[in-house]
Amino acid sequence: MRFVSTRGGSDPVTFKEAVFSGLAPDGGLFYPKEQPDLRELIGRFNDQTDFRVLAREMTSALFGDEIDSAAAGRLAERAFSFSPALRPLEEGIVLLELYHGPTCAFKDFGAAFLSAVMEEFLRLERRRAVILVATSGDTGSAVARAFHRKENIEVVILYPSGRVSELQEKQLTTLGGNVCALEVEGSFDDCQRLAKAAFMDRNLKRSLNLTSANSINPGRLIPQSFYYIFAVANEGTEESPLCICVPSGNFGNLTAGIYAWKWGMPVAQFLAATNINDVVPEYLKSGFFTPRTSQATLSNAMDVGNPSNFERLLAEFEGSVRTMADLTRGETVSDAQTLETMRQVHEQQGLLIDPHTAVGVTAARRYRAMGAERVIVLATADPGKFVGTVERATGVRPQLPPSLSAVLDLPKVAIPIGAGLDELSALLKDRYLVD
Ligand SMILES: *Cc1c(COP(=O)(O)O)cnc(C)c1O
């Protein structure tokens, strides 16, 4: 598979090149130049197929020219010590639980695959890399956990001092080993500016093989398609294809679903469920894409006013809102509706769901009321990550997942630094430059 830029200004690159450069040189996002027809392979998966086997077969089929089958097997084994799980919720609605990974949210799938891919490529080339990530909390911890103890990889996390929760800080600062946490005197924006400045410094970038692992990396996006195919292999029937409902913010998750459809996964309809930050549902209705400043909601991982993956979605539909709207229906869900769904699901099924999943369930119920037979809803986070909101909606205080609470008792280890590039640059050279 070759990748080109959504802005059209770069030659096709290999998967490896796309993974290590992150953003395309013209500032666009990499997307697949051509989508392969994998109907035959996808049709062979069924409810007995192990997720790791599916991941291995898909990796081989997509990237066989760069990753041989032995490497694909190694990669799937090393990335996925956890699997998606299906749970019937109510008549016509099934949850696809994507939160059984180390940081209890679906972003673990992308981060785990990306780290295993980078490790594999670096091993073959006998190279090392330094991953530099600026974080406001959650994404950084998914990346740090995924890259922890990977060979030939050092991880440097920049986080704003005093501006992340205690739990988030502990997740970033207690791993040790190849993960180094830098506590930056400044805001999240300062951290991002600092990371950007480091990547712009060609000398620093080259000498350390400085690499990013942010959410627009195609190595994080592609593996998210695997769990859609897994869900359809388990729940799909030839007679009535499924609808799949995706709680969305930056629209990476939905993009991955669209890729799976392009490769031949049968699906009747996608539902793009958002909170009131609904520029994409609006676009699907009106044909006008109008980015705006995001507003804070209870499903805060979806508070995105200008979703970066919109460019990739447009590319798949060749810029036609008609074609996109035929396959994808948008639904907007308010905080009040989110809380009400959480309350009802708890009352009726005795189940706690997180606010992001609740946005999806609300949209799925609406679509069922319009006649849809069966809808799969992506459950994107463990309810235990959103204690306050879950308690407010249901009166029940959920348990913090054990893999998260375990870090609370460990000692914090972080290096305090200022927000200037000189200090960061000196520290990185000192720690990671060999000779
Ligand atoms: C990131 C995130 C989302 C949104 O996913 P996108 O790929 O950005 O659309 C939804 N739910 C949770 C819990 C998230 O962390």
User: φ, ψ for residue 180 (rounded to 5)?
Assistant: -115, 120
The pLDDT tens digits along the chain (435 residues) read: 999 999 998 899 999 999 998 788 888 899 999 999 999 999 999 999 999 999 999 999 999 999 999 999 999 999 999 999 999 999 999 999 999 999 999 999 999 999 999 999 999 888 999 999 998 877 888 999 999 999 999 999 999 999 888 888 999 999 999 999 999 999 988 998 999 899 889 999 999 999 988 878 999 999 999 999 999 999 987 777 899 999 999 999 999 999 999 999 999 999 999 999 999 999 999 999 999 999 999 999 999 999 999 999 999 999 999 999 999 999 999 999 999 999 999 999 999 999 999 999 999 999 999 999 999 999 999 999 999 999 999 999 999 999 888 999 999 999 999 999 999 999 999 999 976
> For a pocket test of ligand 1, which of 353, 380, 390 has the largest count of ligand atoms closer than 8 A to its C-beta?
380
Three-state helix/strand/coil letters over 369-390: HCCCCCEEEEECECHHHCHHHH
Q: Are 417 and 184 in contact (CB under 8 A)?
A: yes
Give the Å distance between the CA of 302 and the centre of ligand 1: 6
- What letter represents residue 64's amino acid? G
Ligand 1: atom nearest CA of 249 is 9
The CB density around residue 337, as the number of other CB atoms within 10 Å, is 17
Give the Å distance between the CA of 405 and the centre of ligand 1: 22
Question: In angstroms, what CA-CA distances link 397 with 341, 355, 435?
Answer: 17, 14, 53
SS3 state of residue 46: coil
Answer yes or no: is the C-beta of 250 below 6 A from any ligand 1 atom: yes
Q: In whole angstroms, what is the distance from residue 358 CA to residue 341 CA? A: 6
Q: Are 72 and 60 in contact (CB under 8 A)?
A: yes
Rg (CA), the chain: 21
User: φ, ψ for residue 88 (rounded to 5)?
Assistant: -60, 130
Q: In whole angstroms, what is the distance from residue 114 CA to residue 153 CA? A: 12
Query: Residue 244's beta-bridge partner residues?
Result: 270, 376
> For a pocket test of ligand 1, which of 135, 297, 356 has the largest count of ligand atoms closer than 8 A to its C-beta?
356
Residue 204: in which H helix or E strand, if any?
helix 202-208
pLDDT the model gives residue 10: 84
Residue 262: in which H helix or E strand, if any?
helix 252-263
Q: Calculate the dihedral angle through the C-alpha atoms of 165, 171, 176, 178, rounding to the nearest 10 degrees.
A: -110
Answer yes or no: is the C-beta of 381 below 6 A from any ligand 1 atom: yes
Query: Residue 416's beta-bridge partner residues?
Result: 183
Residue with tokens 């180094």: 180
Answer yes or no: is the C-beta of 280 below 6 A from any ligand 1 atom: no
Instruction: Give the pTM.
Output: 0.94
Give the Å distance between the CA of 70 and the centre of ligand 1: 32
Answer yes or no: is the C-beta of 103 below 6 A from any ligand 1 atom: no
The protein residue with its alpha carbon nearest to ligand 1, atom 14, reads 301
- What letter represents residue 142's amino acid? A
Answer yes or no: is the C-beta of 253 below 6 A from any ligand 1 atom: yes
Residue with tokens 């089958």: 69
Residue with tokens 């989508």: 35
Answer yes or no: is the C-beta of 383 below 6 A from any ligand 1 atom: no
Ligand 1: atom nearest CA of 251 is 9
Q: In whole angstroms, what is the distance from residue 344 CA to residue 365 CA? A: 12
Answer yes or no: is the C-beta of 105 below 6 A from any ligand 1 atom: yes
Ligand 1: atom nearest CA of 252 is 7
Rounded to 10 deg, the angle between the 138-147 and 107-125 helix axes is 40
pLDDT the model gives residue 136: 83
> For a pocket test of ligand 1, which of 302, 353, 362 has the largest count of ligand atoms closer than 8 A to its C-beta?
302
- Which of 423, 430, 14 is CA-nearest to residue 208? 430
Known catalytic residues are 107
